[in-house]
Every structure is written in C-alpha cells, then in structure tokens.
Amino acid sequence: MAKFNFTLRRNRPEADTIVTAEGAPGFAREPRAELFLLAVSNMVGEDTFYEGAAARDARFRELIATVAVADPEWFGRFVPWLRTGALLRSASVVAALEGARAQVAAGVPGSRSTVDAALQRADEPGEALAYWLGRHSRALPKPVKRGIADAVVRLYHERSLLKYDSERSAVRFGDVVDLTHPKAKDERQGELFRHALDRRHQRDNPLPESLRMLAARAELMALPVERRREVTDPAVLGAAGMTWEALAGWRQTIMDAAAWEAIIPTMGYLALLRNLRNFDQAGVSDAVAEQVAAKLSDPGEVARSRVLPMRFLSAYNAAPSLRWGYPLEKALQHALANVPALDGRTLVLIDTSGSMNSAFSKDGTLRCWDAATVFGLALAARAQHATVVSFSNATRVFPAVAGESVLAGVRRFKDGGYFYGGGTETEKAVRNHYDGHDRVVILTDEQAHWHGSADVAAAVPAQVPVYTWNLAGYRIGHAPTVGNRHTFGGLSDAAFAMIPLIEAGSRDQWPF
C-alpha cells in the first residue's frame, strides 16, 4: 500500500464515527488543513488541555511527512509563511527538517530552500542542527546541510556571534560551520567563520583585525568589574554589540536607571516591550520613558517588529505604570491595521470554557482565552455592527462602549466576569445569539460538549458564512470545512484578511 502517493482531498464529515474530546459529533480534516491548524497553534514539546506533548508532536511529524511528499508545492509555500507570516520559530524549524527528511527519502526535490527559509534568526541554524542530531543522528542529508549553510551565510555576523554563540548551547556557531561548511560571502565573513571555530575549540589564535566589534567587546571585558559601572555611553556599548542581557551579566550588579538609560537606545522593539516593568522598577526617567513610548507607538517600528498583538496585552498586564498604557494601545491599533473592516452585522463568539484557560504563550502569561478576547474585540471594533458573546455552558453578550480601546475592553471583559471556565456548548451559543447576522466568527478550540445536539454547522443558515478560528489545533473539528463553513488557525492580522477574500468569491483559504 502506497504511503505517500495519494491525492489530498477534502474529507467528508464523519459525525457517525468520530467525536470531539468532549463527545460531540466531530469532523476530520484533510491533511493540509490539519497540518495548518496544528502548526499555527503548536508550541512544540508542550502539553495542551486535551492532548499530551508527545502525542501532539508525533502527529505533527506524521502530518509533515505526509503533506511534504504529497503536495511539495503547497509545503514549500507553507513553511516560509509559518516562520515569517505566523512568526512561529520551533514549529517552522521542525516542519522544515521533518519535511526535508521525508522528501529526500521519497526523491522529492526542493527541500534545501525550504530549510533555508525556515531559519530567520542567527541562533536557529544551531537549533536546527540540535534538533536533527538529537532525533536523527549525525548523518545530514545534503539538502538539509546546504539549506542550513545558506542560512548561516545570511545570518552570521559579529553582532549575532556575540548575542547567540553561548557556551550554554550544545551546538555552537563553530559546530554549525564545521558540520555544514558554508561558503563565506566575503573575506571578512570567512574570518568570522574561522574565529567561530577558534572559539568553539578554544584555540588561542589572535582576533582578526577586521572584526572590530569583537575587539571592542574584548576591551570592555578586560575592564575590572569595579570600573564597569562607569561605562554609560550608548555609543561605546553599541560599538561593542552589547545587548541588555549581556550588559546585566557584564556589570555583575543590578541594572539601575543609569544602566538601562545607557542601553535603551540600542535595544530592539521586542526587548523594549518585554522590559517596561524593569524600567519602572529601576526608576528610568520620564524623558527616556517618552523616547521608549515614542518608539513603541511608531507605526513603522510596529510594522518592522512583526510583534503579534498578544504581546501588547502581555506588556499591558505586566507594566505597573500608567505611562505605558496609551503607547501600547496605539501600538496594538497599528498592529491590527490589516484586520478587515467588515460591513453588515457580525456575530463574534469567544469561547471561555475551561480548556481555553490553557497556555497560549510558552511562558504561560497569556491564555488561549486572552488571545481570543484580544482578537474578538479587535474584529468587533473594525466591524460596522458587531455582537460579541462570551460562551461556555452559559452565554453573555459583552456590551460595546463607544470610544473604548481594545486593551481597555479586554480588561473590562476580564474584570466583568466574562471568563466562565465551564464546558464548551458552542451550538447552544450560536442558536441563542444568531439573529440574522451576515456572518459568524467563532474563536475556540472546537472541543464542543455533547448534550444531545452539537451541530454547530446547522445552527446557522447555509448561505451565511461561519468562520472558526481554532486556537489549539486539535485533530477533530466541530464543523465540516465545506461550503460556507471555514476553519482557520493562527490569530494574526493576515489570517483575518481571509474573511473579505472569501466573501468576495475567493476559495483560496491559505494565507500564503
């Protein structure tokens, strides 16, 4: 029996044979749809409410192997989008490597470019090799080796070496160079590669003159510890490629206001966003805080950062000072610029059942229902007329407040007791609140409870589109993906753009 030689086609509903995790009639997805949903919601190696990490990761690998061979053209577009569109690092690395392994075994070309595209940060070639060596031994297929080498040429420079070549890493920059043999783009990068090998193997060779940033860092490292607090010139720290993490370790003392104010000018957008609480606790001046706020709320900076909207909610929740509230709200609005302005009447259903209280972010600071609320309220804010409903066993309409910001709405949603934590009675919620709306949007993990009837698809007239955003990526869905019933994964502004595309007559449901 052929394992890979088959046509990918939409699966038929199988309500008589399969069920959701809570016993309601379920619908299987075709492999591409299942892979897409799982990938955009998959924190590799993490448990979810209904599925353990080992089983989830195994399902991910099996789907990758199947789809990469059966539809390599789709897979070749999917992996780069997963990294740069959905902004998922671990899932894209695993997808690229497992897909390459399956394609090499099946004689399917093209995996070199896919591996290269999945690696977008300088620590990722090492992560890719660590994953491969840990799972598939040392033998690297040529497409994997060359794809990683291509990424090394793009990503390895002095600053990235200083930031990511850590002694704590099992696979160092020198190991990557040693195993993949990248061809340097110029002599300076060649000297960098040789120096990375020297660092890895503790060779006492002199530092090449061309590597001026490394030389500047060496000078700072030679300073006695008691003199390091005197270095507060941002230009000096910047010339040495000093990050805030490196500065904290180098000073060997707490990061006071002077230290933060010295490093803030060279900090990246996400680093600033993550450290607002630290700035307040250290007593950073209002003048410097205004500079941070201006950068956070600058639309160009927001666009370049590619920060997902949930980050702004996390920062908003963590920052104790009111001086960050308005800049973060402006930043969130810029980040949601591509959320479509929907005409007519839209019903937005936010699942706040117990399973939606599982982790959405890897550090656990954001839950699935936090992410669903951010996007549900953002979508409602952009709609001509919207009805927002929180549902679990019970349902409740969340009333709109004229002029209210999205972040303030999220806080009101939480403080007002709209997170229920019970069962997932999706069909009942739809039937109770659908009232001639032009479309229905459901933000959920799709694990509907069985109470005699759970036919979500039948609760809305066939001519009315129902859009489900799945936040967990489970295999079984609550409705078939046929006709006017559409299921997506990944809560990003690009994903929401699917609504007007579909309503304009497009049937291309992939955001890549």
Task: Divide the 512 residues of the chain into consecutive groups of 10 and give the mean pLDDT of each group.
Answer: 32 46 54 77 43 75 96 96 83 95 97 97 96 90 97 98 93 97 97 97 94 97 95 95 95 95 95 95 95 96 82 82 89 78 93 82 71 87 93 94 87 91 87 94 70 64 86 51 67 62 58 78
Q: 160 near 217, Cβ under 8 Å?
A: no
Is residue 289 in some structural domain? no
User: Do 352 and 447 fall within a single domain?
Assistant: yes
- What is the reported pLDDT for 303? 87
CA-based radius of gyration for the chain: 25
User: Do 133 and 234 fall within a single domain?
Assistant: no
User: Do 382 and 448 fall within a single domain?
Assistant: yes
User: Do 227 and 196 fall within a single domain?
Assistant: no
User: Do 455 and 393 fall within a single domain?
Assistant: yes
User: Do 134 and 48 fall within a single domain?
Assistant: yes
The boundaries of the domain holding residue 254 are 223-266
Q: Whole-angstrom Cα distance, residue 98 to residue 78?
A: 14
Is residue 297 in some structural domain? no
Torsion of CA 433, 494, 68, 183, to 10 degrees: -160
- What is the reported pLDDT for 4? 24
Is residue 237 in some structural domain? yes
| Residue 433 CA neighbour count, 13 Å, CB half | 28
- What is the reported pLDDT for 2? 29
Q: How many domains does the chain have?
A: 3
**Helices 53-70 and 89-106: crossing angle, nearest 10°?**
50
With tokens 């959920």, the residue in question is 444
Is residue 47 in some structural domain? yes
- What is the reported pLDDT for 86? 74
Tokens, residue 11? 């699966």
With tokens 């960098």, the residue in question is 192
- What is the reported pLDDT for 48? 39
Among 31, 18, 26, 20, CA closest to 457: 26
- What is the reported pLDDT for 454? 52
**pTM above the 0.95 mark?**
no
Is residue 298 in some structural domain? no
User: Do 187 and 126 fall within a single domain?
Assistant: yes
Among 450, 426, 489, 422, CA closest to 15: 450
Q: Whole-angstrom Cα distance, residue 164 to residue 156?
A: 10
Is residue 333 in some structural domain? no
- What is the reported pLDDT for 468? 84
Cβ-based neighbour number of residue 199 at 10 Å: 17
Q: 144 near 102, Cβ under 8 Å?
A: no
User: Do 148 and 46 fall within a single domain?
Assistant: yes
Phi, psi (5° rounding) for residue 479?
A: -155, 150
With tokens 């909207």, the residue in question is 309
User: Do 232 and 362 fall within a single domain?
Assistant: no
Is residue 39 in some structural domain? yes
Listing from the earlier edge strand, what are the strands of the sheet with 485-489?
395-398, 383-391, 342-351, 439-444, 466-470, 485-489
Burial label, 357 (beta-carbon count in 10 A; 0-12, 13-18, 19+)? middle
With tokens 């809560």, the residue in question is 491
Burial label, 163 (beta-carbon count in 10 A; 0-12, 13-18, 19+)? middle
- What is the reported pLDDT for 372? 86
CA distances from 494 to 85, 87, 508 (A): 8, 11, 14
Q: 294 near 346, Cβ under 8 Å?
A: no
- What is the reported pLDDT for 434? 95
Among 69, 76, 125, 70, CA closest to 102: 69
Cβ-based neighbour number of residue 143 at 10 Å: 21
The answer for residues whose C-beta is within 8 angstroms of residue 281's C-beta and 6 or more apart is: none
466 forms bridges with which residues in the sheet?
440, 485
| Residue 208 CA neighbour count, 13 Å, CB half | 16
- What is the reported pLDDT for 28? 58
Q: 444 near 400, Cβ under 8 Å?
A: no
Tokens, residue 56? 């989830």
Is residue 68 in some structural domain? yes
H/E segment holding residue 37: helix 31-40
> Residue 140, SS3?
coil
